[in-house]
Structure 1
Amino acid sequence: MSNESINWDKLGFDYIKTDQRYLSHWRDGAWDEGTLTEDNQLHISEGSTALHYGQQCFEGLKAYRCKDGSVNLFRPDQNALRMARSCDRVLMPAVSTEQFIDACRQVVKANDRFIPPYGSGGALYLRPFVIGVGDNIGVRTAPEFIFSVFAIPVGAYFKGGMKPHNFLISGYDRAAPSGTGAAKVGGNYAASLMPGAEAKKQGFADCIYLDPQTHSKIEEVGSANFFGITANNEFVTPKSPSVLPGITRLSLLELAQSRLGLTVVEGEVHIDQLDRFVEAGACGTAAVITPIGGIQYKGKMHVFHSEQEVGPVTKRLYAELTGIQTGDIEGPEGWVVKVD
């Protein structure tokens, strides 16, 4: 596909084959140097642990075109550290932060023509992943592994501007109390497909998961992190060993305190105490922030700021973070890595 054939205004979040992707193999105790390839098909053993036992993990981050034509990677070191933790959790060899960032840089540079232009609201989405491969059949760690990074251009998440969405409290659990909830592994997402589909059938954007032990506290919103803003200027987000520690969540925590002067609280968010919040949202790489208009629980809809308008604090947080990502606002030290 040529970039001339891409309608930047109509880009969604769909797979598009780009020019090059990065591929590295782990054999005999070490990762090789890795290489770029035009081949977007993986050739792996039918006995690969990734296929049978879910031994894999992945990441998601974006590269942004700036006004001066340069390209920003947003906090790739944090994605590298999280992927290393995910690898540890499912007994895979971690990729070093240096190799991770170098691979991302190579892929961005090789696919420069697919980066949406500044001002379009789009970005180049990167998908790094590690999978267990090689001939195997027993339930054990793989004899070999693949680390790969590919990229696709994605459009602005909110067509026509950011607007609130409604969510449904799910009766399903996203993860076990001492399971893999804090790791970014595929099994967590497979488990979310049916609850998410059921919520969408009922007209909701997605479902919200409660804690698996007591079903009384909010943990995650679909595949994103929850946050709420209180009337006394607190930024509150759930803290739990089964919540995925999002990079956007981490960044909003820091900006809420340092740029907006909010008090940040990581703690319990009880489902029967939603009245404490005047605004609420879900945060993640894809949308940055999805404002939550209302949450339906046990047949009753709890509305926050509005089901039609985005709250003022949510707007400010979104503007601050997206401004840093695209280079229009100076970010904290180390948040932006320039792609040469």
Structure 2
Amino acid sequence: MSIDWDNLGFDYIKTPYRYISVWKDGQWDEGKLTEDNTLNIHEGSAALHYGQQCFEGLKAYRCEDGSINLFRIDENSKRMNRSARHLLMAEVPEEKFIQAVEEVVKANEEFVPPYGSGATLYIRPLLIGIGEGIGVHSAPEFLFTVFCMPVGAYFKGGLTPTNFVVSDYDRAAPHGTGSIKVGGNYAASLLPGEKAKEKHFSDCIYLDPTTHTKIEEVGSANFFGITKDDRFITPLSPSILPSITKYSLLYLAEHRLGMEVVEEDVYLDSLSKFKEAGACGTAAVISPIGGIQTFDEFHVFYSETEVGPVTQKLYNELTGIQFGDVPAPDGWIRNIK
């Protein structure tokens, strides 16, 4: 397969191998690599009827010396297991999760984009409830699979400011599944996301479902803002998915850039205090927000065409760590030779 590494989108590309393992009778099997990219599951599987499923997203990065970095993979494992506990699913032991990801990356190493291309290998661990059933209860069996594909930027244009619009739809209920990575949250975002794109915005901004006065998420990514007095602020809410990228940026802003960092409510009527803003996540990395269309005005941050200096520094620091060009905090990188 011939791949144009410099012009990859964020699309599915079949790679040769994926990992699969089944939990049955109280334990996981050994798991194995397979070339089959289809899942054969029972028609009564709880994942199909009642949404008993969760997933993760992480990336592998080609370093200058040819080795491959995995970024904070232990945090992905922990987050998947938090999701599993919430949905009464069998947890995947961290050792098994990491081993599965590493096996998939090694088996598909030729699809890890070259250093300097800006592209990465996107890895998707998936946990679903399977087996015979039809009642509303936890599945009798679970399937854990990991597959991967090379990807480019999630938002077209990469590190270029794009605009977003505030949605009057809710992404998740106040005390629901907003803080865990389940497919239902993303299904709920499809219609409002499509409406935003019809209006020529990259995606929509979700407000808190209780009062509709505070920013929670930016499409499927987390929001951050840089205030005029150089504070790094992200929203605080039990409905927000705890982004590994966001918490990495909180650390880097404080320890590498010397900024004050805060998780607090971000009110829609207080956007004027931010000189820069962005969306962040594994897929998006950092996507600068040029402007936000609220219900009654269009608010521009640093620029609709240029990246703000603080956002640029954070991006350089984060991606430098991921690609092995900048020293990483202890435990952040797992290197595959």
Amino acid at match of 1:337: R
Given candidates 98, 102, 108, the residue that maps to 1:101 is 98
Amino acid at match of 1:91: L
The 5 A counterparts of 1:1-340 are 2=1, 5-157=2-154, 162-340=159-337
Distance 2:171 2:152 in 1: 28
Q: Structure 1: give runs of 5+ residues left out of the alignment.
A: none
SS of corresponding position for 1:120: coil
Deviations 1:285-335 (A, max 9, x none): 112100001111113101111111110000000000000000000110110
Distance 1:271 1:60 in 2: 29
Contact 2:158–2:287 (Cα < 8 Å) also in 1: no
Distance 2:33 2:314 in 1: 37
Distance 2:155 2:237 in 1: 29
Distance 1:186 1:161 in 2: 25
Contact 1:64–1:326 (Cα < 8 Å) also in 2: yes
Q: Give the deviation of 1:33 after TM superposition.
A: 1.4
Distance 2:235 2:129 in 1: 32
Deviations 1:23-72 (A, max 9, x none): 01000111111100011110100000000000000000000000000000
SS of corresponding position for 1:193: helix
Deviations 1:210-251 (A, max 9, x none): 000010100000000000001111000001100000010010
SS of corresponding position for 2:70: strand
Q: Give the deviation of 1:97 after TM superposition.
A: 1.1
Distance 1:192 1:324 in 2: 31
Q: Give the deviation of 1:158 after TM superposition.
A: 6.3
SS of corresponding position for 1:100: helix
TM-score (norm 2): 0.98
Residues 159/328 of structure 1: CA separation in 2 closer, same or farther (3 Å cut): farther
Distance 1:25 1:159 in 2: 37
SS of corresponding position for 1:119: coil
Amino acid at match of 2:189: S
Contact 1:25–1:147 (Cα < 8 Å) also in 2: yes
Contact 2:233–2:261 (Cα < 8 Å) also in 1: yes
Q: Structure 2: give runs of 5+ residues left out of the alignment.
A: none
Distance 1:158 1:174 in 2: 20
Residues 249/139 of structure 1: CA separation in 2 closer, same or farther (3 Å cut): same
Distance 1:299 1:275 in 2: 14
TM-score (norm 1): 0.98
Contact 1:120–1:156 (Cα < 8 Å) also in 2: no
Amino acid at match of 1:64: Y
Deviations 1:175-207 (A, max 9, x none): 000000000000000000000000110111100
Distance 2:188 2:179 in 1: 14
Distance 2:201 2:76 in 1: 29
Q: Give the deviation of 1:13 after TM superposition.
A: 1.0
Amino acid at match of 1:335: W
Q: CA RMSD in A?
A: 1.0
Distance 1:249 1:94 in 2: 24
Amino acid at match of 2:255: S
Amino acid at match of 2:54: C
Q: Give the deviation of 1:160 after TM superposition.
A: 5.8
Deviations 1:252-307 (A, max 9, x none): 00000000011000010000111110100000111210000111111310111111
Distance 1:159 1:191 in 2: 22
SS of corresponding position for 1:261: coil
